[in-house]
Structure 1
Amino acid sequence: MNDVREIRKTLDLALRVGEMLLSNGAGAADVTATASSIAHHYGLRHAVIDVTFTTLTITYQQSFDDTAYSLTRHVTQRETDFDDLTRVDHLVGDVLDDRVDLDEARSQMMRISSTGHSTPRWAITVSSGVTGAGIALLLGGDWLVMVIAAVAAMGIEVLQRRLARLRLPFFYAQVAGGLFASSLAVGVAATDVPVNPSLVISTSIVTLLAGLGFIGAIQDALTGFPLTAGARILEVMLSTTGIIVGVSGGLTVGELLGVDIAVNPGAAALSEIPLMVAGAAVAASAFAFSAYSPRRALLPIAVVGGAAAAIFLVLLESGLGRAQPAAIAAIFIGLVSYTLAGRLRVPPLVIVVATIVPLLPGLSIYRALSLLAAEDFTGIIAMITAVAVALSLAAGAILGEYIAQPLRAEARKLAPRLSGPRLVGPLRARTKR
């Protein structure tokens, strides 16, 4: 490729695809490999892609004596949108299979990035409420707890959307969400309504944790992108701290009003495992819907989410602690999602993120906050347990991908430069000869 205009078009397409993947939670390894595959396919044999979480840069120089071409894009919008992610994944496949030329690929990419969704906003709000209700059922709540948890989840979704329009940093949106949920729980506890408010708060914490970049952060750390991994982990920690600050503020208000909503030791009882598994299935599917997942993936996501929750609950009941069952359930998710994603024609990341959401450690975080508020420093151990569960979920899912990919014949042809499991993008770099 010698035409300067064509070179710039190719670099621009590769960058736009990488930006879309990165903004939707894909790991830096996936972004780099996908952008490299596109550039290589169109004749740019040694393009260099640099990913630094907020910036994507691609550079191409044909030889030492030639002019170097470099383009940069800033990733400013971070919203989980599995529909866009899936459409870009299909476009990359079409490019590498020569079903579209360069100009058509750029046109399609522009349409994907600029086209809205047909799903109305109220449906997304309702699905957030269904997610909250499903998580409440998973934690052992009754129908009244489910209703209040659904109201809390919908209120959090509306509140965070309004704050996002004001362009406030996401940290403050997390603080507001945690404060709203805990204040609602305090209000419920102050009445004679027979509800365990700790379950409402725990459910809301899981709702606030959903969609954070746990998977991408751990994937980057494991696949040799320490700079991006550090930035993602810092973002996750800051967002989680926002939840803790907001919930702590609500608990403090409750304490000043004389309302005690300490954790009920029986809140996570496992006596109704079938119902709890159903709650996990509903929560996973509803979250996938709220993240604009393709409709064909919703039922399989519910099945995988329910099965993973069943594994987690059975192992938890056997006394293995919380981190080990979470890791085993996540490995199952990674194994199944890799095969299932090919049949559903969606990136594995869509299935992995949605099915891990019900297993996020909301109850552990709330237990830690309650203990620390009572000046019981065993709450530090509970917080460490929550961190261990989150890391086990992310690392376990990626390990499942590591195990699953070599089991397929196509995976044996992976390009040597691809490091780690692929959660989105082509499984191997296909070049145009």
Structure 2
Amino acid sequence: MATGAATPAPTPDEPGTPEREAPPTEGLLGHPLPPAERTQEIPLAPLPVETPGLLGHPAPEPTAPEGVGGSSEDTVALEVWRAVGYHPPADVDVDIPTLRPGAPGAAPWPDRMRTLLRTPMSERPAFERTPREAKGEATARNVPRILDLSLRIGELLLASGESAEDVEAAMLGVTHAYGLDRCEPQVTFTLISISYQPSLVEAPVTAARVVRRRTSDYTRLAAVHRLVADITAERLTVNDAYRRLAVIRRNRHPYPAWLISLTTGLLAGAATFLVGGRIDAKAWLVFANAFVAAIVGDRLASLVARRGLPEFYQFVVAAMPAAAFGIILSLNDLGLRGSIVITGGLFALLPGRALVAAVQDGLTGFYITAAARLLEVVYLVAGIVIGVMLILYAGVSYDANLKPAETMSGANNPPVQLVAAMLLTLAFAMLLQTDRRTLALVTFNSGIGWTTYGVLVYNAHVSAIVATGMAAGLVGLFGQLMARYRNASALPLVTAALGPLMPGSALYLGMLSFAQSHSSAGLVSVSRAAALAMALAIGVNLGGEVARLFLKVPGPGAEHRLVPYFSVPRRAAKRTRGF
């Protein structure tokens, strides 16, 4: 019961007073109703009170840590970052200034982006940008276009044979230049994708693209490399970058199809002098046979490709003419060295570009892509082996006079081999559609590699496997340095220069031994060819890594002066045991 006195209600007996209902009592039902002549508006619900934090405006303190890529858009407190797995490293004050230098133009974009790429995204700082950032490239409307641009650039690089890490670095550089800091690219053998996380409270934006065709056009690769350099230096808008990319895709190959066919024959012919090491009438006859056989094989492979057959069958067909010409020369006792024709044809078909890229991906931690590329190499080599073996079995059954020792007689004339190696490299570079201005450099780099190999094998009597690795290391070293001097990709300067070091002779000896029912000798030769190929790929990758030790990058501190690469601390994964 209420203790206060209730308001006396007028009696209905009083004249002129309207009859009223009894008001509710106090207590559980609330206070008495106000008089009828008074009105009161009661809202349905109180207005919400905006609070700082996840659902409201960003709180000034605490803010997201700068080293995590936080910006004014972040609305997540430090405790929330820690709850989702972020733990600032103990030496964060040292690492972030080390990673932060790299404003546009301070260092080549592969170095700057590779440093970001090897850092976990939760600890990835944002590089300094120019004042152009205030123009708002990374608006919500532009985010899908920026991601699509990075995917298209990554597709061209991957299709041209670029390593997976360099493709990811290029994609990360494009997105970073346009203001998307929390991006995670991912590259496999046929699929590339990229995901952008605006913040922890917003849904990520993910896009993907499938690489359907692979091309060997290093001129286009160099143009894409320059495009990425201009984008990361913040010289292009998104629209300008799209226009440049469209022009690059429309550009034709620098060399016509008929010249490429002649170059294929020139490569096989130069390989005969490289393996044979002689200049006489028989040598020129062998050169002519290898030249014609390679052109015929190239035309047959193009015919098969136009019918839509896979690349495996193209290699089977392309390997047959060289083996057939070699068998024909060996069906007499004139000593026309048919084995050298077959070996020269193998040099024109071995997938050295795919092998180098596969080993490089494996050494940099992209094991899925490396396994896929190695499997591609296995299939292509299997196609070559099948095409040659079919002809060799027929030739052995007809008592063809094949002499494996002919392929090892080149040590008698090293100058001839050097000229042949450089000519082979020039032809290989043209087959890869290398820019004309790069042909002289790649040919010179090949001369360095083959001279090193010849001195180590023929003068120092070093194992051919070790000599191949060391020569490939020098090719990778000088190729990387020349590429940095020209601010271009290293692939055009390295891949073709490795042509003379390919294990064509060892592979041919293995196939001939199998055809002659010498399984043990065949296994030894094939294993030797595989060891030479691995030494070749590992050596060129190691040479590229050593080249970075001679480069100068922005050092820690406010002045960002250039210091040697090895003097700047770099964070990387550490695993010293196999578990």
Query: Does TM, scored on the shorter chain, surpass 0.5?
Result: yes
2:239 to 103, 106, 120: 103
Residue 351 of structure 1 is matched in structure 2 by 493
- 1:394 paired residue number: 537
1-10 or 375-384, which deviates more: 1-10
* Larger helix fraction of residues: 1
SS of the residue 2:325 aligns to: helix
Distance across 1 between alignment mates of 2:212 and 2:534: 26
| 1:80 and 1:211 in contact (8 A); partners too | no
Which of the pair has the greater relative contact order for Cα pairs under 8 Å at 6+ separation? 1
Identical pairs, percent: 30
Q: Does the C-alpha gap of structure 1 residues 417 and 36 become closer, same or farther in structure 2, counting only changes over 3 Å?
A: farther
SS in 1 for 2:405: coil
Report whether the alignment pairs 1:384 with 2:527.
Answer: yes
Aligned partners of 1:349 and 1:261: how far apart in 2?
A: 37
Partner amino acid for 2:524? I
Q: Which amino acid aligns with 1:378?
A: A
Partner residue of 1:44? Answer: 180
Corresponding position of 2:423: 282
Deviations 1:102-144 (A, max 9, x none): 1111111122123322421111111112211221111125222
Matched, 1:305 2:446: yes
The question of whether the paired residues in 2 share the 8 Å contact of 1:12 and 1:71 is answered with yes
Q: Does the 8 Å contact 1:297/1:344 carry over to 2?
A: no
Matches within 5 A, 1:12-91: 12-91=148-227
Deviation for aligned residue 1:62: 0.3
Output aligned runs, 1:95-134, within 5 Å.
95-134=231-270
SS in 1 for 2:401: coil
Give the CA deviation at 1:44: 0.8
Instruction: Please tell me whether Structure 1 or Structure 2 has the larger radius of gyration of its CA atoms.
Output: 2
Bigger Cα displacement from structure 2, 327-336 vs 58-67: 58-67
Residues 322 and 385, structure 1, Cα contact 8 Å, conserved in 2: no
Segment drifting more, 248-257 vs 347-356: 248-257
Matched, 1:178 2:314: no
Moved more, 120-129 or 109-118: 109-118
Alignment of 1:110-259 (within 5 A): 110-140=246-276, 142-190=283-331, 194-259=335-400
SS at match of 1:57: strand
Please name the residue that 1:404 is paired with: 547
- For the 8 Å contact 1:210–1:357, the answer to whether it is kept is no
CA drift of 1:402 comes to 0.9
Asked if the contact 2:507–2:525 (Cα under 8 Å) also holds between the matched residues in 1, the reply is yes
Give the SS at the match of 1:208: coil
| Secondary structure, aligned partner of 2:193 | strand
User: How many residues in Structure 1 have an aligned counterpart in Structure 2?
Assistant: 419
**Match of residue 338 from structure 1:** 480
Per-residue deviation at 1:208? 0.5
Gaps of 5+ in 1: 420-433
Match of 2:468 among 314, 319, 326: 326
1:76 CA displacement: 1.0
Give the TM-score normalised by structure 1. Answer: 0.92
Structure 1 residues 418 and 348: CA distance shift in structure 2, 3 A: farther
Q: Distance in 1 between matches of 2:306 and 2:176?
A: 39
* Contact 1:29/1:418, CA 8 A, preserved across alignment: no
Deviation at 1:48, TM superposition (A): 1.2
Tell me, in whole angstroms, the C-alpha distance in 2 between the residues paired with 1:347 and 1:156: 31
Aligned partners of 1:44 and 1:193: how far apart in 2? 70
Is the 1:217–1:230 contact (alpha carbons within 8 Å) kept by the matching residues of 2? yes
Alignment TM-score, normalising by the size of structure 2: 0.69
5+ residue gaps, structure 2, are 1-136, 278-282, 554-563, 574-579
CA contact (8 A) 2:410 2:417 kept: no
Look up the equivalent residue of 2:527 and give its one-letter code: I
